[in-house]
Amino acid sequence: MSDLQNDRPKAMQIHLNPKNIFWCCVVIGFVYLAILIWGKDDKFPELAVEIRDVISYAVLAVEMGGHAVAKIYQENSLNIKSKGNTDVGKEELLTRADLVSNHLILGLLKRFPAMNVVTEEKNEHMSESEVEKYRDDNYDLWLNVRGALEKIPSQKYDFSRMSIWIDPLDATQEFTEGLLEYVTVMACVTLDGKPVFGAIYRPFYNETIFGLVNWGLMNSQGEKIALKSPDKVPKTIIVSRSHTGQVKDLADKVFNGS
C-alpha cells in the first residue's frame, strides 16, 4: 500500500515572482493606454491661457530687451556686423544689442512653451554668462506692468490660436548712428493670425506704450492715452530709411509733391 502511495504523481508547485508580476502589469498597462490613445479619433485637449498673462509678459519682454539695448550702447560695445543688403541694396546691420535683446526676450517667453514665437533675428547661440549682466529682473517693474494690465479685460484662448511676434531692436541703422529717438523694441500678439495687442518700448526715453484692439492705449504707469480723432490728425506718410523702395517717388506722383 505504501508503495502505491509513493507512485502517485506529486502536485505541481508554482512559485510566483513578485518582480515578474509587477513588470507584467506595467506592460499590460502600457498596452492598454496605447489602445486608448491610438484606438480613438479623439485629440488631446487644447491648452488655454489668459491673454492678459501673455500680454503682460510681452510688455515685460520689450522693456527687459530695451534695458539691455541701452546698456550696450552706453558701453559702446555694439559689435556691428552686416546681415546683407535690403531690397533696395542698402546694407542691413546687426549689432550685439540685437542679439542680446533677442536672447533675453526669447528666454522670458519660454514661460509659454506651447506658444509660437516669431522673431526678426535668428536665435544665435549666446552663453548665459554673456547676457546675464544685461538681465534686468526688476520686480518693481513687473508689478508696475502687471498692475497696469489688470485694467485690461481678459479671456482665455487656446495656445494654438495665438502667436507672439517680436523685434528685439527696431531701427538698427539709426541705433548705430546715434539717432536714438527712433530706436524701439516691439512685440505683437496675434489671435488667429490677426494682431490684437502691441507693445512698443523706447529704451532711451524709458517710455512704454501698449494697446489692445477694441480697448485702447495705455502706458506702463497704468495711464490710459486719449486717442485723437482721425479727422483731426494730419495725414503723414512715414518711410523707412533702409526700405524706401519706390514709396517716395510714388507718393510724389500721387500727391503731386505736396
Residues tagged in the binding site annotation for Mg(2+): 120, 167, 169-170
**Among 111, 117, 133, CA closest to 56:** 111
* The length of the chain, given as a count of residues: 258
Q: What is the DSSP letter of 59?
A: H
**Binding site, residues?**
120, 167, 169-170
Q: Is there a contact between 153 and 199 (Cβ–Cβ < 8 Å)? A: no
- The secondary structure of 172-232, three-state, reads HHHHHHCCHHHCEEEEEEEECCEEEEEEEEECCCCEEEEEECCCEEEECCCCEECCCCHHH
Q: Is there a contact between 210 and 197 (Cβ–Cβ < 8 Å)? A: yes
